[in-house]
Amino acid sequence: MVADMESISVTLLVGAGLVALSILAGAYATRLGAPVLLIFLVLGMLAGQDGPGGIVFDDFHLTYMVGSVALAVILFDGGLRTTRTVFRLALWPGLSLATVGVLVTAAIVAVVAYEVLSFGTVEGLLLGGILASTDAAAVFLLLSRGNRVLNQRVQATLEAESGMNDPMAVFLTISCVEWLLQSGEAGALRVALSLVLQMAGGAAFGLLGGWAMRWLIDRVELAVGLYPILVAAGALVLFSAANVVGASGFLAVYLAGIVMGSKPFRAQQMVIRFHDGLVWLAQVVMFLLLGLLVTPTEFFPLTVPALVIALVLMLVARPVAVLLSLLPFRFDRPSLAFISWVGLRGAVPIFLGCLPVLAGLPNGRAYFDVAFVMVLLSLVVQGWTAPGLARALGLEVPAAPEPEASRLFELPDAADRDILGWRVVEDSSALEHSPSTLPLPPRTGSLGVVREGRILPPTEPGKLEPDDYVILLVPPEQRHEVDKLFAPASAGEPVEGLGEFMFDPSAPFELIAKEYGLPFPADAKGLTVGDWLARRIGRLPVVGDRVKLAPVELTVRATQGDRITLVGLELEEARTRLPLLRWLERMRRKFGGGTAKA
């Protein structure tokens, strides 16, 4: 008994120590631009059999079980954070990438696997299915640092793809494993029918389950801290129930998250914060286990074929899949190039690589080893280069203002207001006002000011001072406007690449054309600049969208909902940002003359 307790204590000590070390190492590594998920994976390898830790771990069944739960948690959280804007922008492109893209990727990988590993058709498709799933989380971790974020349309597409393609990759992998176990007796028609049933069942479970969870949360009175636990447990119940009846549990939890997050629900902020920590824990544990499971000395014979497959996947299969999938959706070339390059592989391919081993397939370990090499190369090469590529392609846009807003106090749903607090910073425009004269949006009111620990009514403090804490009653849809009022002045500084000049989109196009000496398009007659720009864009506008109007470009600098709220005018010469292109442009002007082209 004592020996068992000691063994449990040692296991707990090692496990908790690895998790804590991973988090601390990840915090320092990201300062160097390293993908944080790569750090978790490498630490698992160092702790494993071939590393200095020397831990012998080969339990594929435990890894698959933990990985399933972790992936369900991650997908549910991804759906929970999917906003209506993301859904409107990226539903169909994401769905196309998750279906057509996965199948095209798997087919190209199958051809390469036939050549370099002598795999058969189904074996090659199995490897393609394992490698087809993308993981955008690491890219967003890199791109979200600093005061720039990725173009919203591109980011939304990558987010939607990463959430939707996991169920498709899981289905393709399981179908190929079953086909090989049955020696090809499954038949293509049966596989197609199984796909339809799994996806339809997963969609039904997800939509109904998400609605039921939100209905329950809004009607059951609990201690506030229990709501996040109830939501997490409900998501796992839904995932398991869908799997039990043969539906796609991964699709079910993703859709349930989307349905839950589509409208406000009780304790929403607490649930989201809880799931944020839960997702991090899931990723750390999953990557550590996968790293422990790897024995690098065993896959040295497969290193060269695995590298060939990885390079073909990154340089050929992914770009071809992206071009074919996004052809109907009018993405520009920089966006297509970035999406093609950032098909970042994460834990899912390694997790799916456990299936052939668990099924006892011939060369089962080869699938796992090839998947591991692919993920390692993808995190190092694509993960490290993603931020620089986004800047080079002009796909970065300024981040939304993030003043020091903080606590959310729960009010009855009928109030349709949130009580929020903002700290007044040194260079905020709010310093020019008293609480009663703040230019607040409609239906927004001041409740008071906290100054040096004292609570003052809105009429008493006089002009606001730095470090005052202003308490406001704010409708959810107006929070962004109030954010801008309390944001540092530096948040509104000009942004390279979105226009040297700025103007109101409600200005008549004819007036702007005369003022700036621009050509006046025939279809702009009687329109404002914003209306003409939105019509030319032809879809929901996002910051960073641009329309060429030689010799300038009109750019979208700010939006609110589906409205353009600020327009930029950029000289085409400014588009030449890369050093090599700038040098070529100078040479062309020096020896060739003429006007610069974008």
Q: What is the DSSP string of 488-528?
A: BGGGGS--TTS-SEEE-TTSBHHHHHHHHT----GGGTT-B
Label residue 241 by pLDDT band (50, 70, 90): very high
Residue 248 falls in which region: left (phi positive, over 0), alpha (psi -120 to 50) or beta: beta
d(CA 448, CA 375): 52
Q: Over 50: is that where the pLDDT of 407 sits?
A: no
In this structure, of 217-221, 370-374, 433-437, 594-598, the range with the lowest mean pLDDT score is 594-598
Token pair for 156 = 């939304």
Where exactly does CATH 1.20.1530.20 map onto the chain? 2-398
Task: Name the CA dihedral angle for 554, 560, 565, 570, rounded to a multiple of 10 degrees.
Answer: -20
Rg from Cα positions in the chain: 27
Residue of 552, 555, 554 lying closest to 595 (CA atoms):
552
* Per-residue pLDDT tens digits for 213-224: 999 998 888 887
Q: Identify the pLDDT of residue 106.
A: 93
CB–CB of 230/222 below 8 Å? yes
Task: Name the CA dihedral angle for 507, 510, 515, 521, rounded to a multiple of 10 degrees.
Answer: 120
Give the mean model confidence (pLDDT) for residues 90-111.
92
Task: Name the CA dihedral angle for 294, 296, 301, 306, rounded to a multiple of 10 degrees.
Answer: 60
In this structure, of 13-22, 278-287, 494-503, the range with the lowest mean pLDDT score is 494-503
d(CA 249, CA 597): 51
CATH class of 413-487: alpha beta
Where exactly does CATH 3.30.70.1450 map onto the chain? 413-487
Asked if the 494-592 domain carries CATH number 3.30.497.10, the reply is no
Token pair for 552 = 């300038």
* Per-residue pLDDT tens digits for 161-184: 888 888 888 888 988 888 888 765
In the chain, what is the greatest distance between 2 CA atoms, to the nearest angstrom? 88
d(CA 128, CA 172): 9
3-class state of residue 396 by DSSP: strand
CB–CB of 474/415 below 8 Å? no
CB–CB of 370/302 below 8 Å? yes
Label residue 578 by pLDDT band (50, 70, 90): very low
- Pick from 20-24, 116-120, 311-315, 361-365 the range whose average pLDDT is largest: 311-315
Q: Identify the pLDDT of residue 16.
A: 81
User: 346 CB contacts (<8 Å, ≥6 apart)?
Assistant: 37, 134, 135, 137, 138, 375, 379
Where exactly does CATH 3.30.465.10 map onto the chain? 494-592
Q: Identify the pLDDT of residue 138.
A: 60
Asked if the 2-398 domain carries CATH number 3.40.50.2300, the reply is no
Q: Identify the pLDDT of residue 581.
A: 46
Q: Identify the pLDDT of residue 224.
A: 77
Q: Identify the pLDDT of residue 498.
A: 67
Give the mean model confidence (pLDDT) for residues 506-525.
84
d(CA 68, CA 15): 19
Give the number of other CB atoms < 10 A from CB of residue 243: 19
Q: Over 50: is that where the pLDDT of 346 sits?
A: yes
Report the share of the chain in percent with pLDDT over 70: 84
Q: Over 50: is that where the pLDDT of 255 sits?
A: yes
Q: Over 50: is that where the pLDDT of 576 sits?
A: no
Let me know how long the chain is: 598
In this structure, of 393-407, 432-446, 505-519, 545-559, the range with the lowest mean pLDDT score is 393-407
Burial of 91 (0-12, 13-18, 19+ CB in 10 A): middle
Sheet containing 563-571: which strands, arranged edge to edge? 501-503, 563-571, 552-560, 546-549
**H or E element: which one contains 234?**
helix 226-244
**H or E element: which one contains 297?**
none
Sign of CA dihedral 326, 329, 332, 334: negative
* Per-residue pLDDT tens digits for 260-319: 988 888 888 788 889 888 988 888 888 888 888 888 777 778 888 999 999 999 999 999
Label residue 583 by pLDDT band (50, 70, 90): low
Give the mean model confidence (pLDDT) for residues 3-13.
72
d(CA 114, CA 286): 30
